[in-house]
Amino acid sequence: MTTDSGTVPASDTSKPVRKGRGWKIFVRDILIIFVAALLISFLIKTFLIRSFYIPSSSMEQTLHIDDRIIVNQLTPNLMPLEHGDVVVFKDPGGWLTPQPDPQVNWFVGAVDAVLAFVGLSAPDSNDHLIKRVIGMPGDEVICCNDFGQLTVNGVPLDEPYTTLPDGVTKATRDDFDVTVPEGSLWVMGDNRYNSADSAFHRNDPTGGFVPIENVVGRALLISWPVSRWTWLDNYPVTFAGVDG
């Protein structure tokens, strides 16, 4: 058959599209997206935020055992610490009792390793502690005044976040008068009579002080369970005036 111009059209010599090439491209793209997501999650976990779980009752009722929290790792290196911050920190020396590694099967271990890599699991939570910052470098922290309150630089603290035994009004069990050295913190658990905190360790070689360099970050919020989702306050009204 000829065209209107009288010429014979050239036959189509292009190669047919190979079947199956489409699904291979799709799988490749999915793998690229998956790897990119893992890399981004790893970078976020390493430099920005990560997850921890609460292994003890020392911060009740603010934090419960097995709560999951999100920790801002920009504090204290890029964002300053403040009085009242809830911080996660590495053992300053002898605060934690060595724990044997739990026995898990290979599959559970592999899954946990992947989740830990992207920051969704925290297998090292038992190697860290979490407390509230009461004293900053240079602060004088005293327990207690005539009303059973902690004072920081002479300012009495009204602490709505603490849990005390029934009928007890004294902010913590033991008396102390300390001045926080440079580069260190004085930290205490909200569950004051059930917390191995700075006051508990005041006679240790550490003096109860936590080096700021040991701080992993500031706890921002409870992420799990959903029923307990909430931002973690540092109660600026409680600590108003202590810097003066």
- Catalytic residue IDs: 58, 131
List, in sequence order, every residue forming a beta bridge with 155; answer none if it has no partner. Answer: 152
Sheet (strand 140-143) strand order: 155-156, 150-152, 140-143, 176-179
How many C-alpha atoms does 145 have within 13 Å on its Cβ side?
Answer: 12
Residue 120: Cβ within 10 Å count: 15
Neighbours of 6 (CB within 10 A): 6
Neighbours of 18 (CB within 10 A): 8
For residue 28, CA distances in Å to 19, 33, 34 come to 16, 9, 10
Query: Tell me, what DSSP letter sits at residue 125?
Result: G
What is the end-to-end Cα distance of the chain in Å, rounded? Answer: 99
Q: What is the enclosing helix (H) or strand (E) of 23?
A: helix 21-47
